[in-house]
Amino acid sequence: MKKDTHPEYYTDAKVTCACGNTFTVGSTKKDIHVEICSACHPFWTGVEKVVDTAGRVEKFKARQAAAQGKKK
């Protein structure tokens, strides 16, 4: 087998969320930054939170409003 083909594995990699939550996991990266975690994810918290990426939410709401206008 070839030597040095596998990346270094860190058992104490630190994950930092945008909400401020931090925890440790095993990973090939020492520090990981995420936008959403289990402490702030709507599925786990029960609180609705809209994560807008490039205006997708506004586009969806506009299509939904147009569809409602056609039904009536």
Q: What is the pLDDT of residues 19-28, one digit of tens each?
A: 899 999 999 9
Sorting pLDDT into bands at 50, 70 and 90, what band is 49?
A: low
- Structural domains of the chain, ranges and CATH numbers in brackets: 10-71 (4.10.80.400)
Q: What is the pTM of this model?
A: 0.57
C-alpha–C-alpha distance, residues 36 and 59, integer Å: 22
